[in-house]
Amino acid sequence: MGKADSRPKQSDALVLFGVTGDLAHKMIIPALYAMTKRGLLNVPVVGIAAPKWSLGQLRQHVTGSIKQAGKIDDREALDHLLSLLRYVGGDYNDPGTFKALKQALGTAKRPAHYLAIPPSLFAAVIQGLGLSDLAKDARLIVEKPFGRDLASAQTLNQVAQSVFPEDSIYRIDHYLGKEAIMNILYFRFANSFLEPIWNRDCVASVQITLGEDFGVKARGAFYESTGCLRDVIQNHLFQIVSLLAMEPPAYQGYGAVHSEKAKVFQAMRPLQPDDVVRGQYTGYRKEPGVAKDSDVETFCALRLFIDSWRWEGVPWYLRAGKCLATTAAEVLVELKPPPQRLFDDSRPAAGRANYLRFRLSPSSAVALAARVKRPGKEFIGDQQELYLLEEQSGEEKPYERLIGNAMAGDGALFTREDAVEAAWRVVDPVLGMHHPVRPYKRGTWGPKEAAALIATDGGWHNPLSEET
């Protein structure tokens, strides 16, 4: 892991571009409050945005954000956070804005610059940081989406790397900061019983579902430019696939994990139109900011193959969408049935074979399903789930963890350039060439064509809204 004196140095300031925006209001500011309560934030926090606010206005905004996210249950921590705040208002294309930022940073030499702004502004800010000498010994935290296709991701990488070295760029996918997602990596490689069966010989299929029971809300215009495939599958669900499919890292360190994850993306077979089902919930075209003839998908299901030694021939089924039956995320790794059917009730008609289930949200759990004999003379039984993990209280929220890790120089939960580009290569063929969207009713699990996609592999596993 390296000698103590070679460890990354802690950032001595946090610069939050887009401090007045929606992401900062809903996610980042509450995370900073939580970090302050834990004693993990003791450096200047410089908010920067277009409005010409006073410091008092920023403090009011921060207080309101924390109130809206929950309650102020530690007045001392809030006062401490407010005391750390500084504000710079100005245009990101104006060199004077970065000059004012430099003054606001004072004696700080190793700031972490968080870009909680639209991707269209990334280049201007990154170049402004470089020209104002604010990138030296600094870190860049970039919020997704990192590009909207392969070409734009490559361009953005080139811009970022023209100013910051790759190991100083932290690409955030908040899903990787979730405790349940981290547990996939731990569960896989901390247990010896899993490895002998974790391959094409024993795994029949893998499916991942991320459902939301609400629509696009006020984000219709955003969704029109993005769609479900870009918004959720290419990043969140692909990251889960990489953790499930990767080979054991060669050494203890996040660089080794990144390398193995990148190999998974590189081994993914590029998608073709028949691998993808796109859906759109009824009423989407009436949402504000949505075109009357929109072909943008609010639901996407796909069949994916990983052409590697371990996973050759194993189908991976991914689906995500809005206005579905419930809000939940689950992984189901279905195992192949025993080679010889010794008992009548072990036939396919009896239901699924053994499986491993990762419940990711709203609660987290790991469960193993196995058949157990019923009492009596007959050899019949039922499939029962053994719970291996249930929700823990007091967990760090994703943004707390990710901001803290980036400021500490720990890149384990972030994505690397080669992985980002390899993931885009998989979806690039179907971004422009695809079948039309299929309508589906609100409160269902998407269009019927999605069920046909997985029909030969036992059908979709539909997560329940709550564990029973």
The pLDDT value recorded for residue 6 is 62
Q: Are residues 197 and 129 in the same domain?
A: no
Determine contact, residues 272/303, Cβ cutoff 8 Å.
no
Q: Are residues 117 and 260 in the same domain?
A: no
Q: Is residue 155 part of a domain?
A: no
Q: Is residue 366 part of a domain?
A: yes
Q: Which of 99, 122, 143 is the last residue of a domain?
A: 143
Domain hosting residue 208, numbered range: 176-457
Q: What value does the mean pLDDT of the chain take?
A: 90
Q: Are residues 303 and 359 in the same domain?
A: yes
Q: Are residues 115 and 253 in the same domain?
A: no
If you average pLDDT over residues 410-432, what whole number do you get? 92
Is 174 a residue of the active site? Answer: no
pLDDT at 340 over 80: no
Q: Residue 196 sits in a domain of what CATH number?
A: 3.30.360.10
**Angstrom distance (rounded) from CA 184 to CA 246:** 11
- In SS3 terms, 153-217 reads as HHHHHHHHHCCCCHHHEEEECHHHHCHHHHHHHHHHHHCCCCHHHCCCCCEEEEEEEEECCCCCC
> Which amino acid does the sequence have at 355?
Y
Q: Which of 143, 165, 198 is the last residue of a domain?
A: 143
Determine contact, residues 435/278, Cβ cutoff 8 Å.
yes
Q: What is the DSSP letter of 179?
A: H
Q: Which of 143, 166, 191 is the last residue of a domain?
A: 143
The pLDDT value recorded for residue 2 is 43
CB atoms within 10 A of CB 266: 17
Question: Tens digits of per-residue pLDDT, 185-217?
Answer: 889 999 999 999 999 999 999 999 999 999 998
Q: Are residues 395 and 306 in the same domain?
A: yes
Q: Please name the residue that has the structure tokens 């963890």.
A: 401
Q: Residue 87 sits in a domain of what CATH number?
A: 3.40.50.720
**Angstrom distance (rounded) from CA 206 to CA 458:** 11
- In SS3 terms, 342-354 reads as CCHHHCHHHCCCC
The pLDDT value recorded for residue 172 is 87
Q: Are residues 121 and 204 in the same domain?
A: no
Q: Is residue 153 part of a domain?
A: no
Question: Tens digits of per-residue pLDDT, 345-383?
Answer: 665 545 678 899 999 888 888 988 887 878 888 777 777
Q: Is residue 465 part of a domain?
A: no
Q: Is residue 356 part of a domain?
A: yes
Question: Tens digits of per-residue pLDDT, 78-113?
Answer: 999 999 999 999 999 999 999 999 999 999 999 999
pLDDT at 154 over 60: yes
The pLDDT value recorded for residue 40 is 94
Question: Tens digits of per-residue pLDDT, 276-314?
Answer: 999 999 999 999 999 999 999 999 999 999 999 999 999
Q: Is residue 397 part of a domain?
A: yes
Determine contact, residues 334/458, Cβ cutoff 8 Å.
yes
* Between 421 and 370, residue with greater pLDDT: 421
Q: Are residues 224 and 313 in the same domain?
A: yes
- pTM of this prediction? 0.90
Catalytic residue among 113, 236, 258, 434: 236
Q: Are residues 338 and 283 in the same domain?
A: yes
* Between 59 and 118, residue with greater pLDDT: 59
Q: Are residues 92 and 181 in the same domain?
A: no
Q: Is residue 130 part of a domain?
A: yes
What is the domain count for the chain? 2
If you average pLDDT over residues 220-236, what whole number do you get? 91
Q: Residue 377: is it exposed, middle or buried by C-beta count within 10 angstroms (0-12/13-18/19+)?
A: exposed
The pLDDT value recorded for residue 395 is 66
Share of the chain above pLDDT 70, in %: 95
Q: Are residues 128 and 180 in the same domain?
A: no
pLDDT at 51 over 80: yes
The pLDDT value recorded for residue 390 is 62
The pLDDT value recorded for residue 392 is 62
Q: Is residue 134 part of a domain?
A: yes
Q: Are residues 332 and 411 in the same domain?
A: yes
If you average pLDDT over residues 124-129, what whole number do you get? 96
Q: Are residues 14 and 128 in the same domain?
A: yes
Residue 468: band (very low, low, confident or very high) from pLDDT cuts 50, 70, 90? very low
